[in-house]
A and B are shown apart, each in its own frame.
Chain A
Amino acid sequence: MPADTNATTTGPAALQGLATEPGVPKPDPILVGDKIKRSFGGLTAVDVAHIEVQRGAITALIGPNGAGKTTLFNLLTGFDKPDSGRWSFNDKSLDGVPAFKVARRGMVRTFQLTKVLAKLTVIENMRLGATGQRGEKFLSALFRPLWKSQEDEITRRADDLLARFTLDAKREDFAGSLSGGQRKLLEMARALMVDPELVMLDEPMAGVNPALKQSLLGHVKSLREDGRTVLFVEHDMDMVRDISDWVIVMAQGEIVAEGTPAQVMADERVIDAYLGAHHDTDLTELDEEAVQAEAEAELDQEEEVKKDD
């Protein structure tokens, strides 16, 4: 993290007063993308002209079902290949960089459907997250003294994180026996073992019971306090309003608006994206052609939802 020398260009504070146009430049972007396009057959899932994510802030990516949020996530992290487009992380291009290298550079994601390693214990899940392990090379793996000390240090770090995420009681349990919310916590904690600069959370609140939600919110905020950048996809508007410094709104593959949570929620374009452009107009006043076009667009969107699911 760069030192906080100039409060107006770094961190979440610098986002105040920015224009709310899609793709607005940020004072200190960690992630910059250009003309990212991905289509599945005839359907354009993602068509982002420009996107920037501010360093040290929590940015939310919202949008109706099928808006292409998860697809954009997959593209940015190397889990999917775009038809065209460029993007860079810390000013280094991520063109054609495979997913595991993206993670090593400090950009680690979680998944919408949690991917805990069910038949490994919680602590083993955590240990896996550590990078640069000597014991992960086959020849040195055979000789325990070569990696024992590093393993101990990794275990200490893992135990600290487990305590922080209140999973220490589950240390020796198989990850498959955890509840949905605990899995989300474990996945987040495991991602931190990589020590990422940018944490990308895909629907961290999905399937989490309300009691756990508050603590999960706290954990996401604490990531920012650690000096990490957070980009997350979410449907839960309460969460978005509560913790995000900046909100990017996607609809039908494009970014339609950006802004602080308050700005975005008052933005006409966002309301249109969620509720349809004519949600407050009497339909009888519209000519038939417009209604027809509306219906077609809706059908398209439904198709997209199916694709996304």
Chain B
Amino acid sequence: MNWAYIFEFAITQALGPTAVVYALAAIGLNIHFGYTGLLNFGQAGFMAVGAYGTAASVVTFGIPLWAGLLVGLLATVVLALILGVPTLRLRADYLAIATIAAAEILRRIFQSVTFSDTFGGSTGLSGFARDFYALNPYTETVSLGFISFRNTTAWVLTVGWGLVLLSCLIVWAATKSPWGRVLKSIREDEDAVRSLGKNVYWYKMQALILGGLFGGLGGIVLILSQSAAVPTDFATNTTFFAWACLLLGGAARVWGPVVGAIIFWFLLNFLGEFFSQMTRGADPILPTWLMTETQASLIRFIILGLGLMLLMIFRPQGIFGDRRELAIDAR
């Protein structure tokens, strides 16, 4: 049992590119759900559109990366408009259904043989990130005490956490303003807001666009970090991991999704490595009749799911949430 390695591995992952991606996706969901009360179960779709918008622009249509990034972000805005126009006038659950379906449709389009000339089919697209790594100022492995990152990863993380910081700053400024007050009021009671002369539909649309943009940014960081856009990265579990990050950290809090993402990836990798070591080798610590190596890679999801359930029961506001706000609902 190598505890030092377990911690080193888990912390590296908790600060790594995946955590950045999920932090950004969860920040988007926080705008949707935490502040506006919109149920977006298709954040993976927004991520995919941002990612493929960028990758396909560069690889298939040969435009420079910076322009590709703009195309990717613009594509998430278009997706938000397409989803929002028909559903935002309806009850919240309609948006949930429309988003989860749209995300799956998009993933299947990106994966399809028909469009493989444009989106690369199931092997995806690669070779668009060269311009990004050309800007890398790091030439050697970057060491932070007992964890270290390769120079390319360090560059992704610098940009990625910088984007997270910037996003949090925008969320902070926006939600502390009268604009944010309207969003929170819509979350509480749409009709009351309407009766006071606010265009509820347009505010919900703005929230959907803004949150979708953060999701698209997450998708872009994801494909830059692995220099490839692969359709399986944007399956529904991506959306639900982002939701888990948000609820773990606490919705309607600026830092909630970021801390949630870090803790989520720490726990997931900690448990994964722990059980992997417990079942590894010819004479594993856990007897094979109790758990095999294959089962070990799955048990972390069971434990994490159980943990999330307990969290929702005993601390439903998440780690950072405000208990008083929630208690009012209990009447």
Contacts and interface: CB of A to CB of B under 8 A. Distances in A.
Interface in B163-207: 170, 173-174, 177-182, 184-185, 187-189, 191-200, 206
A140 to B, nearest CB: 8
Contact of A141 (B180, B185, B189): B180
11 contacts: A77-B195, A103-B196, A109-B195, A115-B195, A117-B192, A118-B329, A119-B184, A119-B187, A120-B185, A128-B196, A141-B177
Contacts of B324: 174
A128 B193 contact: yes
Contact of A117 (B184, B194, B197, B331): B184
A191 B179 CA distance: 19
A101 B174 CA distance: 24
Interface in A96-143: 98-101, 103-104, 108-111, 115-120, 124, 127-129, 131, 133-138, 141-143
Contacts, number: 111
A151 B180 CA distance: 13
A279 interface: no
Contact of A147 (B174, B177, B192, B196): B177
A65 B146 CA distance: 74
B325 A174 contact: yes
A127 B197 contact: no
B144 interface: no
B328 interface: yes
Nearest to B179: A141
A176 B195 CA distance: 19
Contacts of B189: 115-117
Contacts of A124: 181
Given A120-B181, A128-B185, 17 more contacts: A103-B194, A103-B196, A109-B195, A115-B191, A115-B192, A117-B185, A117-B188, A119-B188, A119-B329, A124-B181, A128-B182, A134-B178, A136-B198, A138-B174, A141-B174, A142-B173, A176-B328
Contacts of B178: 127-128, 133-136, 141, 147, 151
B173 A100 contact: no
Interface residues of A, number: 42
Interface in A63-107: 77, 79, 98-101, 103-104
Interface of B: 170, 173-174, 177-182, 184-185, 187-189, 191-200, 206, 210, 324-325, 328-329, 331
Contact of B179 (A109, A111, A129, A135): A135
Interface in A150-203: 151, 174, 176-177, 190-191, 193-194
A144 interface: yes
Contact of A142 (B174, B193, B194, B200): B174
A100 B188 contact: no
Given A111-B192, A117-B185, A136 B179 contact: yes
Contacts of B173: 141-144
A245 B198 CA distance: 32
A172 B210 CA distance: 30
A110 B7 CA distance: 57
A127 B177 contact: no
Contact of A118 (B170, B177, B328): B328
A194 B193 CA distance: 11
A116 B192 contact: yes
A110 B194 CA distance: 11
B196 A194 contact: yes
A108 B170 CA distance: 33
Contacts of B331: 176
A116 B191 CA distance: 10
A133 B197 CA distance: 11
Contacts of A147: 177-178
Contacts of B180: 141
A254 to B, nearest CB: 26
A124 B196 CA distance: 13
A147 B180 CA distance: 13
Contacts of A141: 173-174, 177-180
Contacts of A128: 178, 181-182, 185, 193, 196, 198
Which 7 pairs from chain A and chain B are nearest by CB?
A176-B328, A135-B178, A141-B179, A103-B197, A141-B177, A115-B192, A117-B188
Nearest to A115: B192
Nearest to B328: A176
B194 A79 contact: yes
Nearest to B188: A117
A79 B188 CA distance: 18
